[in-house]
A and B are shown apart, each in its own frame.
Chain A
Amino acid sequence: MSSSESSGNLDRREVVAQLLAGRGDALLITGLGSTTWDAAAVGDREENFYVWGGMGGAAMIGLGLALAQPERRVLVITGDGEMLMGLGAFATIAVQHPANLSVVVIDNEVYGETGMQPTHTHFGVDLAGMAAAAGFESACTVYTQSDLDTLCASLYSTRGPLFASVKVSGDRHETVLPPRDGTYLKHRFRRALLGDAEKGSLAGRTS
């Protein structure tokens, strides 16, 4: 195996499209880099919050959102490099144990945005094993279309926290850019979720 050849064969764009096909009103957080382009390629939505920076933070943003919105399903889709930078989140999420949170890593085993250098998962680091050991309700690694179908059947309905690492090929796709102004993404997400979010914002005035 060359240094940049993934152990996965699935196509990342097809995987993300299938993951999102059944999302209903689920809220989506994506990590910086390819998973944001993947989600944008499927279709931009107000209930998508793309994290264009803060590497390692996507899963924790998902946790804060899941705790604030326990009636809504929250899906985090991020890359293996982004997840590796925030591995402590596995422990923190497992302890909080939100039933409505699913975290999916699109694992191509390389840092796609910086020149396809291999990540630790390329050398065998097992993200699903780490999530399971931390105490996630369920955790799996997806290698085949059949595995993916099984994951998609439970992604929004099974009791969380759920973790899945989906092994995809190293093929690169067109970069599809969603909106990238952070304040805009924040405001439109809150408006879609909360309505007129600013209306009640003085409720907590302390003076």
Chain B
Amino acid sequence: MTDDAQIGEYPRWPEEIFGVLCDAEVTQVAYVPDAGHARLIELCQANGSMRSVALTTEEEGVALLAGAWLGGARGVLLTQSSGVGNCINMLSIVQECRFPLLVIVTMRGEWGEFNPWQVPMGQSVSDALGNAGVIVHPVDAADEIADTVAAAAELAFNAFRAVAVSISQRVIGSKVWK
């Protein structure tokens, strides 16, 4: 298989999200490495106007992006569904101060999951975020992701809200174990 063929097999939506983040003037990209976000993270790392910040745990990203907004910068938190649980108490800062927050969640523990240990947190994502004051936009079709992230960015940065886009495992693909 040639490199071109491999590139051709990449789904388009990570590049589309990247374009939306550029348009939204996002300059801080916080993440814990994740298979679902791997391509998007690479694109952000390669972009000179974005600062990629690898985290040890996702709650660091919630605090980081609060500081970014205090300093006049916009950011995004890229996380797997399991990382949502790590954020809960830190989200109280966001709710109390009404910091804008844009989160993109790649789901595990739902469509076609084989690892039972991913299911509890995956199934809790929507309720947990909702209870923590985060508006959730679920999306389960690849061609709706970019528009959904754009709408979430608008709601976050211009209406000053905490918004998460959760991308279904149906889009990302279930993890294949060999």
Q: Which residues of A contact B (CB under 8 A)?
A: 27, 29, 49, 51-58, 60-69, 86, 88-89, 91-92, 95-96, 182-183, 185-186, 189-190, 193-194, 197, 201-207
Contacts and interface: CB of A to CB of B under 8 A. Distances in A.
Contact of B55 (A62, A92, A201): A92
Q: Which 9 A-B residue pairs are closest in the complex by CB-CB distance?
A: A64-B67, A68-B71, A88-B56, A57-B63, A182-B97, A60-B63, A68-B73, A182-B96, A61-B67
A70 to B, nearest CB: 9
Contacts of A197: 72
Interface string B137-168: 00000000000001101100110000000000
Contacts of B56: 88-89, 91-92
B56 to A, nearest CB: 3
Given A182-B98, A193-B71, 10 more contacts: A51-B93, A54-B90, A61-B67, A65-B70, A67-B68, A89-B60, A182-B97, A183-B98, A190-B69, A190-B70
A64 B68 contact: yes
A53 B92 CA distance: 7
B67 A186 contact: no
A194 B93 contact: no
Given A64-B68, A67-B28, A68-B67, A185 B97 contact: yes
B74 interface: yes
A177 to B, nearest CB: 16
A63 to B, nearest CB: 6
A63 B56 CA distance: 14
Nearest to A54: B93
Contacts, number: 141
B65 interface: yes
A121 B68 CA distance: 30
Interface stretch (B2-10, B17-25, B113-121): B17-25
A51 B70 CA distance: 12
Contact of A193 (B23, B59, B70): B70
B122 interface: no
B23 to A, nearest CB: 5
Given A88-B55, A202-B158, A64 B24 contact: no
A207 B151 CA distance: 8
A64 B70 contact: yes
22 contacts: A54-B63, A54-B89, A55-B89, A56-B59, A56-B90, A57-B63, A60-B61, A61-B64, A61-B66, A63-B67, A64-B65, A68-B27, A68-B72, A69-B72, A95-B54, A182-B93, A183-B96, A193-B70, A193-B72, A204-B158, A206-B24, A206-B150
Contact of A57 (B24, B53, B90): B90
Interface string B37-80: 00000000000000101111101111111111111111100000
Contacts of B66: 57, 61, 64
A145 B15 CA distance: 55
Contact of A203 (B25, B53, B64, B154): B25
B148 to A, nearest CB: 12
A89 B62 CA distance: 12
